[in-house]
Amino acid sequence: MEPRAVSNKSNGNGIGNHQHGEFDIITWFDDVSGNAGFVQRETLRQILLQNCDVEYLKKWFGDIKVQEMDACALESLFTSLVPLVSHADLDPYIQRIADGDTTPVLTKEPITTLSLSSGTTEGRQKYVPFTRHSSQTTLEIFRLAAAYRSRVFPIREGGRILELIYSSKQFKTKGGLTAGTATTHYYASEEFKIKQEKTKSFTCSPDEVISGGDYKQSNYCHLLLGLFFSDEVEFITSTFAYSLVQALIVFEDLWKDICDDIREGKLSSRINLPKMRKAVLEIISPKPCLASQIEGNCNKLQSVDWFGLIPKLWPNAKYVYSIMTGSMQPYLRKLRHYAADLPLVSADYGSTESWIGVNMDPFLPPENVTFAVIPTFSYFEFIPIYRQKDFSSAIDDFIEDEPVPLSQVKVGQEYEIVLTTFTGLYRYRLGDVVEVADFHKGTPKLNFVCRRKLILSINIDKNTEKDLQLVVEKGSQLLSKRGAELVDFTSHANMGSQPGHYIIYWEINGEVEETVLQECCSQMDASFVDHGYVVSRRTNSIGALELCIVKSGTFRKILDQFIGNGAALSQFKTPRCTQNQVLLRILNDWTIKRFHSTAYC
């Protein structure tokens, strides 16, 4: 089942993917997708054979000899005996591992590394086991996605990639395990080294820049090197679209310094990490003509508000590649502005817990992208969920059915994903809601819908991240008509006032009259379609929506706050709702204008 047929010329970037390598991995994926039900049962069997003697599974399996069972029987036994869990249920086990318990708690092989999920989706960072399997599947999905991309957007042999990727700091837990974000572990893994070695001449930045540990310095060097090699850059990428947009926003301020460095082959004193300085200085040399050319382009770009920055500065780039779905969708407008006509290719779907699906159709606009589940990576179950029509309970806004295996999902149905992984998570509710859009042979192609967790709820109202996103999109249309743009947003369910009410925080770029902002505020209040909210507003059991305009730079400060707490820029997602007192203090201290929605009908 492993993609052993991958040509060793295929390097995970698409560059150097000879016809042969592409063919092999795509054929492998077609095969496992065609037999997805069988492959899933085998995957589960392998996970259980490896780990049947661990404490957690023994608790449910007792003395049953799983080795003697066939895959079908094992699947039904597993799903009948082992309960569905959330991270909180497994947390005590993971915590023991973090504290140094070396007995087989969740996996037979000792876990030596723990990942921190970005924590921006649930507001709190959580430990998740990370093993060799995690980096191997990362490399595999990168290779597969690259093979699909190179069919549609072939790239030049020997070209380069501007990869805006960043490691955060790794640290030791009480028990001496290495902890950090999953992307950081991957960048430190053998698999990444293999990829880098094979592609040494292809990535613009050396490891010292990626792993420098200071994202502002890394960012400067990424941009400097990306421009130093600008003619050779074949595509531009980051893990999530957020960091790509952030990097380019920063570029608008830094470009003169970068041009000076390129002209003279020097490095700004803002880079003070010795290893990073040395590595970059070894690469660059004076290029006065290039510096003048970039300067000329930037002067022109400035006059059109940086529209088309990417193709202008990287004239040979074929596309921009990043995760642009889900909570990244609000950054698409800005990315399109920078990319002009250059295709935006939305990257794959995964989580710290497991990779899930690949984008097989890179030609599709990000809004229409689906992810074909890779049935060898984990054992996937799907809990059918339905929006609740009876609004009597504020506990959850979904009704759910029994979980079904991957082979039984139905097109058009929404599900929550459940994972059983090679890294010791068993029937673990991921908390993501997806919709089955289609099938690739026997494996489903998923639309990412949203995180399941409600983010805004005061009374009987139930709004998810997606609901808020749609409301903000509507409200901010008035901004774009005035030539202003929404930089970022978040929200808070304020129960401190009577009645409670929603607060939405906006950072905007450009001047907008107060009357327009007032209109935006009322427009957002009127745009929530959740019945519970509408009823509560009509009866005034939820008060008028409050729109707070925060100072420019507020969301940058929030990013810094998260990074200071160990998050990595590569995985950062702005929390779309917060109850976190530190963030609320920043947001409230930096609020410059407040509006309350007017009459609600």
Residues lying near ligand AMP in the complex (CB under 6 A): 117-118, 121, 323, 325-326, 348-352, 430, 432, 448, 451, 571
Looking at the Cβ atoms of 107 and 121, the one nearer to ligand AMP is 121
Closest approach of ligand AMP to the CB of residue 593, in Å? 32
Does 311 sit behind a cis peptide bond, omega within 30 degrees of 0 on the bond before it? no
Closest approach of ligand AMP to the CB of residue 350, in Å? 6
Looking at the Cβ atoms of 323 and 436, the one nearer to ligand AMP is 323
Helix pair angle (132-152, 190-198), 10° resolution: 30
Calpha distance 100→50 (Å, rounded):
21
Closest CA to 245 of 306, 300, 204: 306
Calpha distance 208→529 (Å, rounded):
49
Calpha distance 346→324 (Å, rounded):
5
Looking at the Cβ atoms of 128 and 520, the one nearer to ligand AMP is 128
Q: Which residue has the tokens 């917060």?
A: 578
Closest approach of ligand AMP to the CB of residue 357, in Å? 8
Looking at the Cβ atoms of 353 and 546, the one nearer to ligand AMP is 353
Looking at the Cβ atoms of 120 and 230, the one nearer to ligand AMP is 120
Q: Which residue is nearest to ligand AMP (CB)?
A: 326
Looking at the Cβ atoms of 284 and 430, the one nearer to ligand AMP is 430
Q: How far is CA 441 from each of CA 31, 36, 66, rounded to the nearest angstrom? A: 9, 8, 30
Calpha distance 241→324 (Å, rounded):
5
Closest approach of ligand AMP to the CB of residue 361, in Å? 13
Closest CA to 492 of 481, 506, 480, 510: 506
Report DSSP state, residue 376.
T
Helices (H), 155-303: 182-187, 190-198, 207-210, 215-228, 241-264, 274-283, 288-303
Closest approach of ligand AMP to the CB of residue 351, in Å? 4
Looking at the Cβ atoms of 325 and 597, the one nearer to ligand AMP is 325
Beta bridge pairs of residue 251: none
Calpha distance 53→102 (Å, rounded):
14
Beta bridge pairs of residue 379: 420
Instruction: Tell me the one-letter amino acid at 422.
Output: F
Closest approach of ligand AMP to the CB of residue 272, in Å? 29
Looking at the Cβ atoms of 78 and 130, the one nearer to ligand AMP is 130
Closest approach of ligand AMP to the CB of residue 347, in Å? 6
Closest approach of ligand AMP to the CB of residue 575, in Å? 11
DSSP H or E run through 450: strand 443-451
Looking at the Cβ atoms of 350 and 532, the one nearer to ligand AMP is 350
Closest approach of ligand AMP to the CB of residue 330, in Å? 12
Calpha distance 110→237 (Å, rounded):
34
Residue 103 falls in which region: left (phi positive, over 0), alpha (psi -120 to 50) or beta: beta
Closest approach of ligand AMP to the CB of residue 586, in Å? 21
Looking at the Cβ atoms of 118 and 131, the one nearer to ligand AMP is 118
Calpha distance 108→528 (Å, rounded):
49
Calpha distance 412→444 (Å, rounded):
11
Strands (E), 301-366: 319-323, 344-346, 349-350, 355-358
CA 307 to chain centre: 25
DSSP H or E run through 440: strand 428-440
Looking at the Cβ atoms of 326 and 330, the one nearer to ligand AMP is 326
Largest CA distance in the chain: 74
Instruction: Tell me the one-letter amino acid at 158.
Output: G
Asked whether 573 and 240 are in contact (CB, 8 A), the reply is yes
Closest approach of ligand AMP to the CB of residue 215, in Å? 16
Looking at the Cβ atoms of 255 and 448, the one nearer to ligand AMP is 448
Asked whether 228 and 284 are in contact (CB, 8 A), the reply is yes
Closest approach of ligand AMP to the CB of residue 517, in Å? 30
Closest approach of ligand AMP to the CB of residue 66, in Å? 29
Calpha distance 60→85 (Å, rounded):
13
Looking at the Cβ atoms of 301 and 328, the one nearer to ligand AMP is 328
Looking at the Cβ atoms of 243 and 591, the one nearer to ligand AMP is 243
Closest approach of ligand AMP to the CB of residue 120, in Å? 7
CA 577 to chain centre: 17
CA 476 to chain centre: 23
